[in-house]
Amino acid sequence: MPIARIAPALGTAIPAPALVAFVVFCSLAMTENPSGLQSRNSLGGQMPPSFAQDVARVVAEVDRIEADTLSQLEQTRLDRQGQMRTLGKLLLFDKHLSVNQNEACSFCHMPETGFTGPIQSLNETNVSYPGSVRTRFSNRKPQSYMYAPFSPVLHYNALQGDFVGGNFWDMRASGYRLQNPSAEQAQGPPTNPVEMGLPDSACVAYRLSNAPYRKLFETVWGADSFNIRWPTDVEKVCATPGPSPADNKYPVHLSEADRTRADHVYDGFGLAVSAYEFSPEVSPFTSKYDYVQAGKDQFTPREKLGYELFRGKARCNECHRDGGPGEEPLFTDFTASNLGVPRNPGLQYYYEGQPDQRNYSPNLAGAAYVDMGVGSFLRTLQSDSGQLNPDSEWIKLAPKFEAKFQVPTLRNVDMRPTPSFVKAYMHNGYFKSLKEVVHFYNTRDILPKCKAGDPGEKVTCWPAPEDSTNLNKRQLGNLRLADEEEDALVAFLRTLTDGYKVPNPQTAK
């Protein structure tokens, strides 16, 4: 049995010599395996048996999509919009933009699952995905970036008493600098130590200067984009996992002019990614719901009931807005809420309290960690991936937003490669089906409390919230929905999946 399943928090019930031996084993394994792939017993939490094979499969699919896009680039002449979008797609599917050149942005956001986590075995267990350093995991489920560019720049609405906009579960990609939250979201993972792991944003510019699509980048952002004098140790620095040392924040040592140029490349990276996410390939508005609204199809009786419940008795539409006059139906209001989601004990993040081979500990709190969401972003001023709280006046608002997480769009919430594929839901992936989510909204406050793993969990009882601060008691908890009404809501949510084909009337007869 893995060590983490013996002790609730790594180290709490393990003799010191055994703990040291375990850490040394992980360090040796990483040293002997440049790819960073580990066996299931060399991690704090228990990896699914198919972990290595699942990771390799996704990496191979990322490589295939990148190769296909490069071949299309060589065969077609693109207009300015096409150039920008194609560049953004190449950036998202380029694994060389990570510290070990083994993880693209899209590794955690694949098309067949609505641009979120594509590995079922992880969705069912650890929820978060490994970074370029394969023993490092983040604290949250990969968020879909379909329709992400429609989010406004983060702002505080004083009359509403709410933050609106931004990207990421904790809203930290505010968009204030580039006036584009999804562009700033794209700039997060490359320098996040538990994701793509580069020690310096300049490493993105350096890797792009050697990319096969460098010419396209220069066409979009200027022929002098990579006119940068790189230090002789740049390759060594960019192959060293972050975070950078406290006394050497920018380990790629550049002149002021070259640093400015590298920063412009990084901004171009983010803006191009956002352009691709805005494209019909990622945000197409082609669900059955859209066809029904256009008068080109009809809901089934169950879907129609679900939509009526969504807008009425179930109160979903109060946060997941389906639009109004002049609004796109995005199924979110871009605010944040604490739904009282229970702690997910399967998160790998709880077992990352000990230093790795580079003396980095993603989660010093270990099993005691509590995700404080938007409040944490407002309090700490800077995240691992570099986003800053842009307004010091917001700091005093942090207590009001503790434990709140962004209201996600419901579009493509059920997109999956096969009907049996398991997705994870909410910021910590506690729920494994839309039925579980709807049942929780319906019964959170009326079913008895139980512990994780107890008989009846998620059906006849619920564990307590991970954190009950600022708990939303207005729009969920006791909706008084019958079981068939829950099922009708799920049926409606499935109509929000893009790529719908209107049945041929002749075929339907």
pLDDT of residue 19: 32
The tens digit of pLDDT for each residue in 301-312 reads 999 999 999 999
The alpha carbon dihedral of 161, 167, 170, 173 has a sign of negative
The pLDDT of residue 92 is above 80 = yes
Give the DSSP letter of residue 382. Answer: B
Residue keyed to tokens 């107890």: 454
pLDDT-derived band at 44, boundaries 50, 70, 90: low
Task: Check if the beta carbon of residue 189 is closer than 8 Å to that of residue 107.
Answer: no
pLDDT at 494 over 50: yes
User: What was the pLDDT predicted at 76?
Assistant: 76
| Partners of 471 in the β-ladder | 338
Name beta bridge partners: 373: 404
- Could you give the C-alpha distances from 246 to 243, 262, 358, 411, in angstroms and in order? 9, 21, 14, 41
Residue 280 burial (C-beta neighbours within 10 Å; 0-12, 13-18, 19+) = exposed
Mean pLDDT throughout 68-73?
Answer: 92
Quote the CA–CA distance of 103 and 381 in Å, as a whole number: 27
Whether the predicted pLDDT of 13 surpasses 80: no
pLDDT at 239: 98
Whether the per-residue pLDDT at 18 is higher than 60: the answer is: no
**Model pLDDT, residue 47:** 85
Report the half-sphere exposure of 256 (CA within 13 A, side-chain side). Answer: 0
Query: The tokens 């619920």 sit on which residue?
Result: 462
Q: Once rounded to an integer, what is the mean pLDDT over residues 159-188?
A: 96
Query: Distance between CA atoms of 176 and 178, rounded to whole angstroms?
Result: 6
* Greater model confidence, 36 or 269: 269
Q: Kindly state the tokens that stand for 217.
A: 């980048």
CB 30 within 8 A of CB 38: yes
Read off the pLDDT band of 476 (50, 70, 90): very high
The whole-angstrom separation of Cα 222 and Cα 130 is 35
Strand partners, 156: 163
Query: CA 17 to CA 7: how far, in whole Å?
Result: 15
Q: Is the pLDDT of residue 507 over 70?
A: no
Q: Does the bond joining 329 to the residue before it have cis omega, within 30 degrees of 0? A: no
Residues 161-177, mean pLDDT to the nearest whole number:
96
Prediction pTM value: 0.89
Orientation angle between helical segments 256-278 and 214-221, nearest 10 degrees: 90
Is the per-residue pLDDT at 85 higher than 80? yes
| Average pLDDT of span 483-493 | 98
pLDDT given at position 27: 36
Angstrom distance (rounded) from CA 123 to CA 179: 33
Q: Give the bridge partners for 137, in sequence order.
A: 130
State yes or no: pLDDT of 14 exceeds 60.
no
| pLDDT the model gives residue 45 | 67
8-state DSSP, 50: T
Confidence of residue 75 (pLDDT cuts 50, 70, 90): confident
Per-residue pLDDT, 509: 42
pLDDT at 176: 94
- C-alpha 290 chain-centroid distance: 25
C-beta neighbour count of 382 within 10 angstroms: 11
List pLDDT tens digits, range 363-414.
999 999 999 999 999 988 666 666 788 998 999 999 999 999 999 999 999 9
Residue 16's pLDDT band, with cuts at 50, 70 and 90, is very low
Report pLDDT for 328. Answer: 84
Could you identify the residue written with the tokens 């310096």?
A: 200
Euclidean distance between CA atoms 494 and 509, whole angstroms? 23
- Where do runs of H (alpha helix) occur along 279-384? 288-293, 301-311, 373-380
Higher pLDDT, 93 or 328: 93
So what's the pLDDT on residue 324?
Answer: 72
Average pLDDT, the chain: 89
The whole-angstrom separation of Cα 192 and Cα 177 is 19
Q: Give the pLDDT band (50/70/90) at residue 456.
A: very high
Closest CA to 206 of 190, 220, 182: 190
Return the pLDDT at 469: 97
Instruction: Of 498, 35, 97, give the one whose Cα is nearest residue 288.
Output: 498
The per-residue pLDDT for range 240-280, each reduced to its tens digit, is 999 999 899 999 999 999 999 999 999 999 999 999 999 99
Inter-residue contact 100 to 36 (CB < 8 Å) = yes
Phi/psi at 207 (nearest 5 deg)? -65, -40
Q: Is it the case that residue 21 has pLDDT exceeding 90? A: no
Identify the band that residue 46 occupies on the pLDDT scale cut at 50, 70 and 90. Answer: confident
CA distances to 173, 348, 400 from 375, rounded to whole Å, are 14, 22, 7
Q: Is residue 485 helix, strand or coil?
A: helix
Side chain identity, residue 496 = L
pLDDT at 8 (0 to 100)? 28
Chain segment 106-147, per-residue pLDDT in tens: 999 999 999 999 999 999 999 999 999 999 999 999 999 999
Give the pLDDT of residue 274: 98
CB neighbourhood size of 390 (10 A): 15
Percent of the chain with pLDDT over 70: 89
